[in-house]
């Protein structure tokens, strides 16, 4: 029996441009979503605690000045909160410690990584140990990609999923770590949640199946407990069958892959919060 309809927050403003699709994906999955302006979070940091799930959508936050999502990441890490101690990133850590969920999509993934919230090795969010940088192709990539879920990942959003087909739209999607030791830990501790594959499902570095050249073909990662996740593909762009690029030519079976991700979040919130 569902105790309550979980509430979710979808960020918007300052260059974010996928908030409406994300809002409707939340709604279709069962959430009661609100659109919240990005600057309001710094003004009212306690606002987040009335929600169960936060999504940071894709776009070009702050015009991607200083690099994708970098300007906002600096604010979240170093701008003192008004009326209380600490920084906004610390408030997000408290949010997750309460058992709640954060999802970053594309630009939102870049923001989580540059805030230190992903991969959050040793639950340390003070240091940035990875980044997302320019695609090896040297251009903006807009295509659908094949993806494989790491079955050993604790990621809440990808539970009971195996292979996915989703669109990517980015110019800075190449995931790299600061050194080989960090990359080994990301791999061995199952922070890798999602990888690019070829049509047969084999993890690959080959272009265009791996559209950006990410280390380990990484398309998404999560924190140690699996409640913070970031991914470059756009699940909000495939929550109805007619979003599939071949829906008029093929029989599309089952639920749309993007919707499955949001429904996993919904199931977690209704069962655990």
Catalytic one of 125, 170, 234, 243: 234
The conformation of residue 257, written as its DSSP 8-state character, comes to H
Q: Global pTM? A: 0.97
Residue 234 falls in the annotated catalytic set: yes
Residue 85 falls in the annotated catalytic set: no
Angle at 95 between CA 90 and CA 100, to 5 degrees: 150
pLDDT tens digits, one per residue of 46-76:
999 999 999 999 999 999 988 999 999 999 9
Residue 222 falls in the annotated catalytic set: no
List the domains of the chain with CATH numbers: 7-272 (3.40.50.880)
Can you tell me the distance from the alpha carbon of 256 to that of 196, in angstroms, rounded to the nearest whole number? Answer: 18
The conformation of residue 81, written as its DSSP 8-state character, comes to P
Catalytic one of 106, 222, 229, 269: 106
Catalytic one of 26, 229, 236, 269: 236
pLDDT tens digits, one per residue of 101-152:
999 999 999 999 999 999 999 999 999 999 999 999 999 999 999 999 999 9
């Amino acid at each position: 029996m569902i105790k309550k309809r979980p509430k979710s927050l979808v960020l918007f403003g300052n260059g974010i441009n996928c908030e409406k699709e994300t809002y409707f994906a939340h709604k279709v999955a069962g959430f009661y979503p609100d659109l919240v302006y990005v600057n309001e979070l710094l003004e009212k940091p306690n606002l987040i605690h009335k929600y169960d799930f936060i999504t940071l959508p894709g776009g070009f936050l702050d015009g991607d000045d200083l690099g994708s999502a970098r300007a906002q990441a600096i604010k979240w890490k170093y701008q003192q909160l008004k009326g209380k101690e600490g920084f906004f990133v610390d408030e997000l850590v408290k949010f997750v410690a309460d058992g709640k969920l954060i999802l970053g999509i594309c630009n939102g993934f870049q923001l989580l990584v540059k805030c230190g919230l992903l991969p959050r090795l040793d639950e340390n969010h003070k240091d940035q140990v990875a980044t997302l940088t320019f695609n090896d192709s040297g251009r903006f990539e807009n295509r659908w990609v094949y993806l494989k879920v790491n079955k050993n990942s604790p990621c809440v959003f990808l539970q009971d999923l195996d292979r996915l087909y989703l669109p990517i739209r980015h110019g800075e999607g190449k995931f790299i770590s600061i050194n080989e030791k960090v990359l080994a830990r990301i791999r061995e501790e199952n922070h890798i949640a999602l990888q690019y594959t070829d049509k047969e499902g084999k993890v690959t570095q080959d272009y265009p199946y791996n559209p950006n050249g990410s280390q380990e073909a990484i398309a998404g990662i999560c924190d140690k407990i699996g409640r913070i996740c970031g991914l470059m593909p756009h699940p909000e762009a495939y929550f109805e069958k007619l979003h599939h690029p071949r829906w008029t030519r093929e029989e599309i079976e089952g639920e749309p892959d993007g919707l499955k991700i949001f429904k996993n979040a919904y199931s977690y919130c209704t069962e655990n919060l």
